[in-house]
Structure 1
Amino acid sequence: MLEWINYFPAFLLVLTRVTAFFVTLPLFSYRNVPTTFKVGLGFFFALVMALSMDLPVLGIDGSYILLVLKEMMVGLLIGLVAYMILAAIQIAGGFIDFQMGFAIANVIDPQTGIQSPIIGQFFYMFAMLLLLAVNGHHLMLDGIYYSYELISITQAWLPLGDEAVFELILQTVTKMFLIALQLAIPIVGVLFLVDVALGIVARAVPQLNVFVVGLPLKIGVSFITIIFSLTILFTLFYKLFELMLHTMRSLMDLLGGG
């Protein structure tokens, strides 16, 4: 029992990194997940990790405070990068909503508590179900566990000023918008053709009020296009999950000084 007391400071560092992961990591950080569940899961997951690791004996002093801050930043940064990539789904939904005429009717996302586009929320629900179906949440938990192979618990600093870290963040943001465009382009392209057709009809039949006809027509065409493009969307979602896990691994490698 006395030996475990010597390892208690190191266990607190493990608990800090795990709980920081759960603050920003997709699927685990949502508001509709009870706080008691997140705290309990973080504690028991950190306990299992601590029992399977060779924890160092640390003293609680000034350098220990730096280690706590480092562990907190590791969890927050890696979880935030994962969330940034999945935000491409919400951005794609915003593009589609603007073309459909749904941009004025945003809804409150119960997971984050902020306004989000309707179609983006619809896609995001499918993406989360697919993430659970392919055991993506297990892979994210594996990423938390194996992060200690890349970023040591005794590492006192993070190379945040390294240009490779900034380059990775910029590439992640670029890929986020690129994937959002790939997700939205089938529906947005079809709606553009509908707008062109409505313009031709308005010139050919001036008596027809295209504003009255156009809105329900665009909504109907959008839903039909979404139904036929769900297979492509699911494939892109799967690629998005692979990119998320790869980016998390790359960032941990850079933060570990690799």
Structure 2
Amino acid sequence: MDIFSFNLLGFLLILLRVSAFFVAVPIFSYRTIPTTHKIGLAVFLSWIMYYTVEIPTFAFDGLYILLILKEIMVGLLIGLIATILLTAIRVAGGFIDFQMGFAIANVIDPQTGTQSPITGQFLYIFALLFLLAINGHHMLLDGVFYSYQTIPIDQVGVPFGDEKMLNHIVSTFNSMFVIAFQMSLPIVGSLFLVDVALGIMAKTVPQLNIFVVGFPIKIALSFLLLMIVMGPFFMLVGNLFEQILIAMRGLMSIIGGG
């Protein structure tokens, strides 16, 4: 590619995929990041990728409109598959909150503007800090760059009706719930044993107001267990990031016809 020639239509296709990726992917899609910064970063990354991707010559016709739609869908799908898996942390927090008795209270997540479990939001913030500490955001950017190796920029169709894509998305949802269950199991299982003990106490000592005694015990024990399992939690978060990369590349391979 001649560095002095500029393929504007090809650059716009790259910019659309990167911009759509930023709309759906974790961290880069959050409201706390100014929109001007997102646009500037998308343009800057697209400019870099422009000189590393083989771009054919395009004409502004009906085929180019289909390519625009394809690039937007590819960026959104790649970002969405990463968001689905990272949601496992919030789901795990929801399981823990339900067992603790905090399920009645939710907080507004300023990053997404949605309601989130208290414990889930607490764990999610730690997971994001861990993701930034190990340069996980670079891994996400590498994902959209890798997509051009499996999904050529001039490929028109996206195989939505392919059975492999459906199975991959269903498997991703299944992995999200499995990871969430693994994260919450130590605390949920311990609190279940506490509920059994409190039930036995309620039967053996009817004079004891089990609701007044039980809630403080469960909350205090939950905070203690959270501090104990924080180390294994970060190990699971590290495995979760690996699963995100595998899921993203698996989806790219399916879209690219691999």
Letter in 1 for 2:61: D
Contact 2:53–2:148 (Cα < 8 Å) also in 1:
no
Instruction: Quote the residue 2:34 is aligned against.
Output: 34
Deviates more, 1:69-78 or 1:141-150: 141-150
Instruction: Quote the residue 1:11 is aligned against.
Output: 11
Contact 2:81–2:248 (Cα < 8 Å) also in 1:
yes
Task: Give the TM-score normalised by structure 2.
Answer: 0.97
Distance, in Å, in 2 between the alignment partners of 1:240 and 1:54 is 32
Instruction: Quote the residue 1:252 is aligned against.
Output: 252
Distance, in Å, in 2 between the alignment partners of 1:53 and 1:105 is 49
TM superposition outliers: structure 1 runs of 4+ over 6 Å = none
Distance, in Å, in 2 between the alignment partners of 1:152 and 1:52 is 13
* SS of 2:87 mapped into structure 1: helix
Letter in 2 for 1:111: Q
CA deviation after TM superposition for structure 1 residue 137, in Å: 0.6
CA deviation after TM superposition for structure 1 residue 3, in Å: 6.3
Task: Give the TM-score normalised by structure 1.
Answer: 0.97
CA-to-aligned-CA distance 1:45-80 (integer Å, 9 cap, x gap): 101110222321111111000000000000001110
* SS of 1:104 mapped into structure 2: coil
Distance, in Å, in 2 between the alignment partners of 1:252 and 1:179 is 22
Instruction: Quote the residue 2:108 is aligned against.
Output: 108
CA deviation after TM superposition for structure 1 residue 135, in Å: 1.0
Instruction: Quote the residue 1:146 is aligned against.
Output: 146
Instruction: Quote the residue 1:61 is aligned against.
Output: 61
Distance, in Å, in 1 between the alignment partners of 2:54 and 2:147 is 14
Distance, in Å, in 2 between the alignment partners of 1:82 and 1:49 is 21
Distance, in Å, in 2 between the alignment partners of 1:215 and 1:150 is 53
Letter in 1 for 2:49: M
Instruction: Quote the residue 2:240 is aligned against.
Output: 240
Matches within 5 A, 1:53-202: 53-202=53-202
CA deviation after TM superposition for structure 1 residue 160, in Å: 1.4
CA-to-aligned-CA distance 1:113-158 (integer Å, 9 cap, x gap): 0000000001101111111111111111111112101000000111
Correspondence 1:49 to 2:49: yes
* SS of 1:29 mapped into structure 2: coil
Letter in 1 for 2:244: M
Distance, in Å, in 2 between the alignment partners of 1:18 and 1:68 is 12
Residue identity over aligned pairs, in percent, reads 57
Superposition CA RMSD, Å:
1.3
CA-to-aligned-CA distance 1:170-219 (integer Å, 9 cap, x gap): 11111111111101111001111111111111122221111001111100
Distance, in Å, in 2 between the alignment partners of 1:196 and 1:173 is 32
CA deviation after TM superposition for structure 1 residue 95, in Å: 0.6
Distance, in Å, in 2 between the alignment partners of 1:2 and 1:57 is 15
Distance, in Å, in 2 between the alignment partners of 1:3 and 1:41 is 23
Distance, in Å, in 2 between the alignment partners of 1:214 and 1:30 is 38
How many residues are treated as equivalent by the alignment?
A: 257
Letter in 2 for 1:215: F
* SS of 1:160 mapped into structure 2: coil
Contact 2:49–2:145 (Cα < 8 Å) also in 1:
yes
* SS of 1:126 mapped into structure 2: helix
Instruction: Quote the residue 1:220 is aligned against.
Output: 220
Distance, in Å, in 2 between the alignment partners of 1:198 and 1:187 is 16
